Amino acid sequence: MSDELIKYMMYGAAGLFALIVLAYYLLSKKMNKSEEKYLRGLQQGTKNRAMSAEIMYQKLYIFYFKTPFIKRYLMKLRRRIEIINIDDEFLTRGQSAKILTKALGIAILIALGIIILAHQNLLLMSILLIFLVFMLDTFIDGMVDKIDNKLLKQQIQFFSEIRHAYHEFNMVEEAIYQVSQDDEQPEMARQGEKIYEVLISDDPEGELEKYYDIAPNAYLKEFAGVSYLTKEFGDRKVDGASLYLKNLNNITQEMQLEILKRDKLDYVFQSLSVIAIVPMLFLETIKNWAISQFSFVAPFYEGKNGMLVQVLILISTFVCYTLTRSLKDNGSTKIANQNENPWQAKLYKIPIVKKIVDLFIPKKGTKDYRKLQNLLKDAASKKKIEWVYINRVLLTIVTFCVSLLLLIQLHKIEVHYIYTEPTTDYDIIGEMADKDKKKAEELTKQDNVFLDIFKGKLDTTQEDIEKEMRKSKYSEYFENSSDEEIATAAERVFGKLTTINAEYLKWFEILIAMVLAIVGYMAPILLLKFQVKMRQMEMENEVMQFQTIILMLMRIERVNVEIILEWLERYSNIFREPINKCVNNYESGPWEALEQMKEDVNYKDFIRIIESLQAAVEKIPIEEAFDELDTERDYYQEKRKESNERLISRKGMIGKVIGFAPMVLLFVGYLIIPLVFIGLTSMGSSMNTMTNMQ
């Protein structure tokens, strides 16, 4: 890349920074108008700075909303935050603008770092900047997860205050209303107010179902459901204590375990995503260092082989980065956020696209169609089969085209390197002296004259080049040269010419591009299978959550097996499909429906729950069927903690292998192996030369 282009980039970055400063200045100036001045006057001496920041973020929200590219991220972010901030538009806008501002600030800093570190390689710099666009999602997800975790911690304090208010009022809805007036925890206060509105509505059961669809996490669903059941059927004493308060305590214990689990996962994965990305930023730095210290490796790093390894590192980084995100993923708001109208759905509505995609989709009712349906269900994916195949077809086309363009570019890189490489007849350790470098560049310039003459002529021989060198037009290069020196120069040029004439797109490279396209076609399915494997690790955790739900419901009067199944379906993730099937078939025969569900699952602990439900259907009361859940509560709690520890340990081990893979590939594949292999090859060549000279 030329110094002129670098200078323009620096000017552009400085101009962008100046625009940001100017926008901040204009917003601050606008706040001095009457309305903002009035608001600040009301806040004077209390929250002047906070209010000013809030107004600034409201203005920034409007600016982001009007900006085409940024609007996409803003709306995606807003959909997640508005689940937490129910019916609070001001808070939703403020938090959305604040998070997006921080994410853009980080992205701009990283973009400047990429330009500085990789400005010598335009292709690499372009790939890194494109990848940075996708990284914005990670920045945003991480910041929203902090709000989600903050809400979870607020819930523990909220439930603690509910206990005291319930003792005072002895009414569920009044206790919730009283605690929800706390403005110090606005996110949780909104949820409390919404649950209160549900409980006092004319159709609380219907409103409760609506709330289940928008609740930010399962624990608020449990709290809302238990509060409704207590309000409808009344509270009762169990071992001298309120059943409602005991259930609140059970939910609190579940939340505490979840908070500990998330904190440990955050600790384990806090640097893995960064470690997976960092190697990309130092490709050019390592390349420049290696060439400056060992000049004999320049053909590798400056040629197509070095570029090919760079591309492999970039691809491995992207794959490892995606898998690391999937491993750490635990945000509950993401599940609701998937119910959007994605670009795949819009693309599928185009007639020509629909016809092409339908050619690849298996026919309904076939084995392949059912297999893909089950895979989507097992992965808890909200995608439709049509969307999956749009991803597969587009990824195939893009992979094939990009592979061909990359292969063509690699050939161009190799030709360009031959035309620009300073020509020497010996290997150099370290940098060349200026005098030697100038002489080598002159030799390259001399060779290029003859390369231009014979380039593309595949039948050229070394003798043809020697004849051309002796012609009067180019005699100035060989005025005082002997026949041996001319022959040596012709041999050198002929070697370069052979390489240049061989640098074209070959049939097997097209075959490689087709193989890579097939890999791209399979990639969405492989990712779904990876998600299924990760979900299977959560099976034990979900079954233990089922045990807690049953423990809360089994002593409430008029609760039956069907109600328990409906609750399990509501909070299930991995076992949702068999539970849903059982609920649908329940009226045709409870025992048979449960027996079918037992055949559909193969997890021992869940089968034990199903057998207890079967006993509660025909033989004994629900409380007796699950009496061991209460008597062995402490044991199950310890088992749950130990299960979380094992889950975190396994995820951490897999995450470290995946996260460090690009780093290992960078140092081993891009630095150590080239240095060792090329060094040994050069040493062997030097030894042969010395032997021949003797």
Q: What's the mean per-residue pLDDT of the chain?
A: 79
Contact 678, 300 (CB under 8 A): yes
Going by the DSSP 8-state scheme, the letter that residue 666 receives in this structure is: I
User: At residue 460, does pLDDT exceed 60?
Assistant: yes
**φ/ψ (deg, to 5) at 237:** -90, 135
Contact 155, 220 (CB under 8 A): yes
Residue given tokens 């059970």 in the structure block: 250
Per-residue buried b or exposed e for 26-62, using 16+ beta carbons within 10 Å of the residue's own CB: ebeeebeeeebeebbeeeeeeeeeebbebbbbebbbe
> Residue 679's pLDDT is what?
73
User: At residue 16, does pLDDT exceed 80?
Assistant: no
> Residue 629's pLDDT is what?
75
pLDDT in tens, 484-533: 777 877 888 888 888 888 888 888 889 999 999 999 999 889 888 887 87
CA distances from 529 to 213, 365, 386, 533, 535 (A): 27, 21, 18, 6, 10
d(CA 19, CA 38): 28
> Residue 626's pLDDT is what?
81
Give the highest mean pLDDT range of 74-83, 191-200, 424-433, 554-563.
191-200
User: At residue 593, does pLDDT exceed 80?
Assistant: yes
- Residue 311 is which amino acid? V
Q: Tell me which of 46-55, 318-327, 358-367 is least confident.
A: 46-55
d(CA 554, CA 518): 52
Helices 633-664 and 539-553 pack at an angle, to 10 degrees, of 150
- Measured in residues, the chain has a length of 694
β-pair partners for 429: 294
Q: Tell me which of 31-35, 333-337, 472-476, 484-488 is least confident.
A: 333-337
> Residue 281's pLDDT is what?
74
pLDDT in tens, 236-287: 887 778 888 888 888 888 888 888 888 888 888 877 877 887 787 788 788 8
Alpha-carbon dihedral 651, 653, 658, 663, rounded to 10 degrees: 140
pLDDT in tens, 148-167: 888 888 889 898 899 888 88
